[in-house]
Structure 1
Amino acid sequence: MDTDKTIQRAGATGNIKATREDWLKLALETLISDGVERVRVLTLGQKLDVSRSSFYWYFKSRQDLLDQLLDYWRQTNTRFIVEHARRPSATVIRGVMSIFECWVDERLFDPQLDFAIRAWARRSPAIRRALDEADKERVEAIRDMFVRHGYDAEDAFVRARVLYFMQIGYYSLELNEPMSSRLAQVALYLRSFTGQEPAAEDVEEFSRYVEKTLSGNR
């Protein structure tokens, strides 16, 4: 199948192209806003103003589309946490700061997508297994970061769980705390997660990263 092909749809402005990315983007938005049960070929096609048959230029079936949404989630939310945890870091403080970047930049970790997958997992044992595997992979990557900085395996594992699941709980509770308030406490968070005192330049560097990221995302 040629995924570079596009489907023409008639509209007020003439022929408009519906791409594979259009289907995926709308399916992703629908998954997040309405849940997996609303990710239906006919419904998506109506919103894109294309025929249902055009879907099959890009996807074998609805299940194929759902599989690709799940893969997208793995390749963003899980991959970036693992990559950031594996980054070389001079100190454990810098290692934790690297993971914090995922909580700041939703291009690295999209909490709405993560909770759409968690809602999906309550309806599907297969998705539940995929979610459990993802949580395990994320925690183990963070644990390994602590181990590299001299923490024993059990201590590293508990610290990793606290760091990771605290953040997931933060999103779950929808604590819309201003970033300025969170930044004011970043040194305390770093000390809590590592047991070490962050240097002033560490906090300043992270604050600059946050400012740059948020301004770039506007």
Structure 2
Amino acid sequence: MIDRNTPVLSRDDPDAPPLVGNIKVTQQDWLNIARDVLVHDGVGELKILSLAEKLSVSRSSFYWYFENRSELLDALLTEWETRNSQSIIRHCELPADTIVDAACNFFRCFVDESLFDSRLDFAVREWARRDMSVRDRIDQADARRLAAITAMYARHGFAPDAADARARVLYFMQLGYHALDVRETMETRMARLPQFLECFTGVVPTDEVIVEFSKFAMAQEAAA
């Protein structure tokens, strides 16, 4: 059994030594393939043997990094929480001169796929329909995200009831946008940005804010 205090080799770490001997895949490789299966096929298809076959390694390789399947599933949930929830919370806490600037910080999470993985978020929500422990983690994550958005509005002078309501409108709208798998170009989305920001903040955004965020969003689309 692996010593849990031993650092795990990772191809994602440029300073890590190369993989040698019979170490053919890293822990992150297992997590990456497991995440892909979860997103495309659902949690029911997360089976150690089939994952090993996809990685072209023996099943025993799995146990170098994980005690069992449950530990892998927990690692996936931890990765989801760290990537998706923490990104939203962190961006809502960024310094912003106005509530419009703050709302743009929030939207950056949903324009830059490296900050928020919408497919993973809804795969976990689908998983939660069948597992109450996962449902609890979803509820806790939503509560933390909403608290951060509410606090964002409150810092910009909104009364508690207004901050709570606007936070819910903003957050649930954004999740619904992804749940419906809306198909439109970034150019089309940016054409609606002034009206969106005014609806969510009650403030007419300046041209400078619109131009800055639109450049960021278009750059993300071009890099995708």
Shorter-chain TM-score: which interval? Answer: over 0.9
Query: Given that residues 93 and 148 in structure 2 are in contact (C-alpha distance below 8 angstroms), is that contact kept between their aligned partners in structure 1?
Result: yes
Looking at structure 2, the residues matched to 107 and 199 of structure 1 have their Cα atoms a distance apart, in angstroms, of 27
> Equivalent of 1:34, from 22, 36, 41?
41
For 1:60, the equivalent position in structure 2 comes to 67
Q: Which ranges of structure 2 fall in alignment gaps of 5 or more residues? A: 11-18
Structure with more strand by fraction: 1
Correspondences of 1:49-128 after superposition (within 5 Å):
49-128=56-135
> Equivalent of 1:20, from 27, 31, 42?
27
Number of aligned residues: 211
Identity of matched residues, %: 43
> Equivalent of 1:207, from 208, 211, 214?
214
**Alignment partner of 1:107: what SS?**
coil
Measured against aligned partners, the alpha-carbon deviations of 1:88-144 in whole angstroms (never above 9, x if no partner) come to 100000000000101101111111000000000000000000001111111110110
Looking at structure 1, the residues matched to 20 and 64 of structure 2 have their Cα atoms a distance apart, in angstroms, of 8
> Equivalent of 2:185, from 175, 178, 187?
178
Using the TM superposition, give the Cα deviation of residue 8 of structure 1 relative to its aligned residue in structure 2, in angstroms.
Answer: 5.9
Q: Which amino acid aligns with 2:205?
A: P
Report the TM-score, using the length of structure 2 for normalisation.
Answer: 0.91
Q: Which amino acid aligns with 2:162?
A: D
Aligned alpha-carbon RMSD (Å): 1.5
Looking at structure 1, the residues matched to 201 and 77 of structure 2 have their Cα atoms a distance apart, in angstroms, of 33
For 1:4, the equivalent position in structure 2 comes to 9
Looking at structure 2, the residues matched to 162 and 60 of structure 1 have their Cα atoms a distance apart, in angstroms, of 42
Runs of 4 or more, structure 1, over 3 Å off, are 5-9
Looking at structure 2, the residues matched to 153 and 58 of structure 1 have their Cα atoms a distance apart, in angstroms, of 46
Query: Given that residues 42 and 123 in structure 2 are in contact (C-alpha distance below 8 angstroms), is that contact kept between their aligned partners in structure 1?
Result: yes
**Alignment partner of 1:96: what SS?**
helix
Query: Given that residues 186 and 218 in structure 2 are in contact (C-alpha distance below 8 angstroms), is that contact kept between their aligned partners in structure 1?
Result: no
Using the TM superposition, give the Cα deviation of residue 7 of structure 1 relative to its aligned residue in structure 2, in angstroms.
Answer: 8.0
For 1:163, the equivalent position in structure 2 comes to 170
Looking at structure 2, the residues matched to 50 and 194 of structure 1 have their Cα atoms a distance apart, in angstroms, of 52
Query: Given that residues 88 and 109 in structure 2 are in contact (C-alpha distance below 8 angstroms), is that contact kept between their aligned partners in structure 1?
Result: yes
